[in-house]
Chains A and B, each alone.
Chain A
Amino acid sequence: MLDEILTVTFLTGFLAATLRIMTPILIAALGEMFAERAGVLNLGIEGIMIIGSFAGFAGAYFTGSLLLGFVTGALAGALLGLAMGVLSIRLKANQIVAGLGIWILCQGLASFLNRGIFGVVSVRPSVSILPAISLPLLNQVPLLGETLFNQNIVVYLTLLAVPVFTFIFRRTSWGLSIDAVGEEPHAADAAGISVSRVRYIAVTFGGLMAGLGGAYLSLALFGLYTDDLSTGLGWMAIVVVVFGKWRPWWIVGGALIFGAANALQYRLQALDFPLPYQFLLMIPFIVTLVIVVIFGRGQKGPSALAAPYERSEL
């Protein structure tokens, strides 16, 4: 078995799968990072991804355009992010409860809409998935070129977003405002920043990204929609944000570890690894759990996270 693992085909296949699996988590996690740094903990990500994958699929199916599919998925996600904003910012609801509520709502809603729109059919409607784009020259790189530089456009854009987001938080007043309302909302308020407005924008953007991540599942990975497409990826996105200390590059690292563990697990299944597949399926989660327990000690998140902002009366 070891010599089967240590082959070039195995390694390149493994790398390609890692990228494929980590991308939806990364997209959702980067969005969640915005929301959390602004002080809103959105636990509804899993649900928003489910809706995103459904809306994205329906959009692409009826318009015949994958681009419009992604737009639909993102818009649906943004709408749900906004709903989370209304619950947590305007109504000052407990964010954990509100997030769980969104999750459960979305799960049922997606299933309901799916049956309502597509009916119960023996032949599932499908769309052709996002094609891979081979980057010239870079794809010539031995070993890695074929996989790393032969991905779909969303993978490239997501990786491109990482430095952009880093830049936003480090160098722009936008990023500063988000951190300000997440760390010291009173001070931000005193400095003339509208805490509610920034939080609304951040949590809506977080929803939009989760919707995109969901749409990636139905439009770039599977080409169809089923009720259980997300399989917990939204929850992993939240974990990855915490593991990544709310910083883009660290978040990439977290998504990479989970993606790699998953890719490895699938490959072990294919190799008839002498362990029941139920255990193999647990590997990525157990790996993540161990890492979280070891490295999660003393993580310090945004100070005002999950705390509704009350303007103090003087």
Chain B
Amino acid sequence: MKTWRRLTVLCVLAAMLIGTGVAAAQQDEFVFGLVLVGPKDDHGWSEAHYAAGEYVMENIPGTRMVVFESLNPADAPETTLEQVVDSMVAEGAKLIFTTSDAFELDTPPVAEKYPDVVFINISGSNVLEGEAPDNLGNIMGEMEWGKEIAGCAAALATQTGKIGYLGPLINFETRRLAASAYLGAKYCYETYAGKDPAELEFTVTWIGFWFNIPGVTLNPTDEVNRFFDAGVDVVISGIDTTEAIVEAGRRAEEGEVVWAIPYDYVGSCAEAPEICLGVPFFNWGPAYIQTVQAVMDGTWEQSWDWNPPDWEDLNNPDTTAAGYVYGDGLTDEQMATLDEFIAMLAEVAAEGNFALWQGPLALQDGTIIAEEGEWVDPIGTKEGDPVGIWYLPQLLEGMQGASTSE
């Protein structure tokens, strides 16, 4: 053996190829995918998720996000979730968030196709219902509180006693959120405004999807204007986009006294700050961080998470799952009242109950779901036995609007 030098040089090169190659591909990068139902800058639902993805990249070095925007029948009619996931897995994604209930049915099959990738379907119930493959989890924030605060703010502001709720499509989630807003409005209308809650008109209009799809859904801009034309002076948005606040802002500029409460994204008051009564927002960052870290560490386990707000600090971006930021449309007095209201919510939450979901409460068809003093079951069952908040089968008695899409 006289060629030691040559042999060793070759060995070093082999080691370097393996060492740097593997490391470059794996060690330094954790790829996670984000499938959005709308555009990443919708100032609503999808942007809140996109912001959480950026929050992960800022806080966990070596993570990289791959995003697919606007996966919905209008913008990408030919694209399936499976195709999107195929390409994300090919890019090295080890964790994929499918961030809409629109993906709830399609996520379990793709999760079965890629058993070594973790999937999180946001807002879904697959895990709760025991039908999910082991690598699929669900995460949702307790937005019910935020909606109650929104309802309260609307009740404090309204002068006509008419509140409009701009709903997306009708399902368990959207019903319970609209109902939460109603409960907050009813409570504050009576308790703080000192008026008769029976006189409060709370109307829900469902447009048919999470955002405007021309020719498929009702046009949210038209619906907001229809509300205002009918004497509503506060519109609470339940859809992913910002039509409610945009239209309210436009009409306020023309001298009308109206307000709006947008939804989902912490920054959405910016569209028309002066008539914004605040925004209940999702803060997905902490849940995302926790999930990414757990998958990276190999400690992730399937779970169904319905994450509460941080009552110590409702809007803390590092801890809360859902919060409420006040808008410039609120007077100082209203803010003080809301502070009081939120303190009350926090107390009830500390006792382990969903505030305001206490009897006497009945569904729209008159079915009693909680007797005087009794708390509604937080979850319930899909079949309505018992009726729960998560699986709310109808709107509540006192609300106007459809409970089902038939």
Contact = CB atoms under 8 A, between A and B. Distances in A.
A282 B26 CA distance: 15
A120 interface: yes
Interface in B16-32: 16-20, 22-24, 26, 28
Contacts of A233: 15, 19
A122 B1 contact: no
Per DSSP, are chain B's interface residues mostly helix, strand or loop, or mixed? helix
Given A231-B23, A236-B11, A293-B5, A122 B17 contact: no
A231 B12 contact: no
B12 A292 contact: yes
Contacts of B26: 228
Contacts of B28: 269, 277
Interface in A226-257: 228, 230-236, 238-239, 242-243
A301 interface: yes
B91 interface: no
Contact of A301 (B4, B16, B18): B4
Given A122-B116, A239-B11, A301-B1, A281 B19 contact: yes
B117 interface: yes
A240 to B, nearest CB: 9
5 contacts: A122-B118, A238-B11, A242-B4, A281-B23, A285-B20
Contacts of B299: 123
Interface in A281-314: 281-282, 284-286, 288-289, 292-293, 296-297, 299, 301-302, 305-307
The 8 A-B residue pairs with the shortest CB-CB distance, nearest first, are A232-B15, A285-B16, A235-B15, A232-B18, A232-B19, A122-B135, A124-B298, A281-B20
A289 B22 contact: no
B198 interface: no
B9 A232 contact: no
Contacts of A84: none
- Interface range on chain B: under 10, 10 to 19, 20 to 34, or 35 or more? 20 to 34
B14 interface: yes
A103 B299 CA distance: 32
A236 B15 contact: yes
Contacts of A120: 115-116
A272 B16 CA distance: 22
A286 B298 CA distance: 33
A121 interface: yes
A267 to B, nearest CB: 14
Contact of A232 (B1, B7, B17, B117): B17
Interface in A201-239: 224, 228, 230-236, 238-239
Contacts of B134: 122
B20 to A, nearest CB: 4
A126 interface: yes
A46 B17 CA distance: 13
A121 B116 CA distance: 5
A124 B8 CA distance: 35
Contact of A235 (B12, B116, B117): B12
B301 interface: yes
B81 to A, nearest CB: 18
Nearest to A122: B135
B300 interface: yes
A33 interface: no
Contacts of A41: 1
Given A239-B15, A285-B13, 12 more contacts: A46-B18, A120-B116, A228-B18, A230-B18, A231-B19, A232-B14, A236-B12, A277-B24, A286-B16, A292-B9, A296-B5, A299-B4
Interface string B128-144: 00000011000000000
Contacts of B15: 46, 231-236, 239, 285
A172 interface: no
Contact of A281 (B24, B117, B118): B24
Nearest to B61: A270
A278 interface: yes
B298 A235 contact: no
A306 B14 CA distance: 20
Interface in B106-128: 115-118
A43 B11 CA distance: 9
A36 to B, nearest CB: 9
A282 B20 contact: yes
B290 to A, nearest CB: 15
A307 B301 CA distance: 54
A122 B300 contact: yes
B320 to A, nearest CB: 28
Contacts of B298: 123-124, 126, 224
B98 to A, nearest CB: 15
Which of B12, B18, B300 is most buried by chain A, counting CB atoms within 10 A of its CB?
Answer: B12
Contacts of B12: 235-236, 239, 285, 288-289, 292
B295 to A, nearest CB: 8
B232 to A, nearest CB: 48
B9 A235 contact: no
Interface string A20-58: 000000000000000000000101001000000000000
A123 B19 CA distance: 24
Contacts of B14: 46, 232, 235
Given A120-B116, A231-B19, A232-B15, A242 B8 contact: yes
B1 to A, nearest CB: 5
B8 A296 contact: yes
A296 B4 CA distance: 7
Contact of A289 (B9, B24, B135, B300): B9
Nearest to B4: A299
A53 to B, nearest CB: 14
A238 B10 CA distance: 10
B16 A282 contact: yes
Interface string A110-127: 000000000011111010
A113 B300 CA distance: 24
B129 to A, nearest CB: 20
A297 B5 contact: yes
B23 to A, nearest CB: 5
A307 B2 CA distance: 12
Contacts of B295: 122
Nearest to B19: A232
Interface in B325-363: none
